[in-house]
């Protein structure tokens, strides 16, 4: 495989990772705290008026998931530079 093709694959992967991670994080509620494995909801006991918390077992990605995704995307993009080949116009020999 040519270097430039591999570079394109890496950059496309970086873009997909970036869009996928941000999209997933936004779709799951854009939680700006740490990830949650159980989501608290508050209810009220009618007779006593006590507000109590119940937990629903559901995953909400937090800021560290977003950070890891962005770091992976940046890493893939940077890796693309290793396989970057100079543009074809620069490879042409100059006319004598």
Partner 1 sequence: MKTSILPFLAAFSLTSSLAAAPISFDFKDPKGVNAIQFSLDSVLEPIAGTASGITGKVSFDPANPGATTGKIVVATKSLVVPNSMMNEHLLGNNWLNAPANPEITFELTTLEGAKTAKNVTSATATGKFTLKGVTKEIKVPVTLTYLADSFGKRINKPEIKGDLLVLRGEFTVTRGDYGIQPGQNEDKVNTEIKLSLAVVGSAPKA
Please choose, out of 7-15, 20-28, 29-37, 78-86, the segment that lies near partner 1 by the rule CB under 8 A: 29-37
Q: For partner 1, give the closer residue by CB, 2 or 32.
A: 32
Q: Which of 27, 37, 92, 93 binds partner 1 (CB under 8 A)?
A: 37
The reply to whether 70 sits near partner 1 by the rule CB under 8 A is no
Helix, strand, coil percentages for the chain (3-state, nearest 5): 50, 20, 30
Collect all residues with Cβ–Cβ distance below 8 Å to 90 and sequence separation of at least 6. none
In which residue are the tokens 């007779």 written? Answer: 47
Q: For partner 1, give the closer residue by CB, 40 or 96.
A: 40
Dihedral-angle region of residue 55 (phi above 0 means left; psi in -120 to 50 means alpha; beta otherwise): beta
Q: How far is the CB of 23 from partner 1 (least distance, A)?
A: 22
The reply to whether 34 sits near partner 1 by the rule CB under 8 A is yes
H-helix or E-strand spanning residue 45: none
Binding site for partner 1 (CB under 8 A): 32-40, 45-53, 55, 62-63
């Amino acid at each position: 495989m040519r270097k430039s093709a591999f570079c394109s694959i890496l950059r496309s992967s970086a873009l997909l990772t970036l869009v996928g991670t941000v999209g997933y994080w936004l779709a799951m509620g854009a939680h700006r705290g740490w990830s949650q494995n159980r989501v608290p909801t508050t209810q009220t006991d009618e007779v006593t008026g006590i507000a109590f918390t119940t937990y629903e077992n559901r995953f909400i990605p937090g800021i560290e998931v977003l950070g890891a995704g962005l770091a992976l995307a940046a890493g893939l993009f940077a890796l693309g530079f290793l396989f970057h080949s100079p543009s074809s116009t620069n490879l042409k020999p100059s006319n004598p």
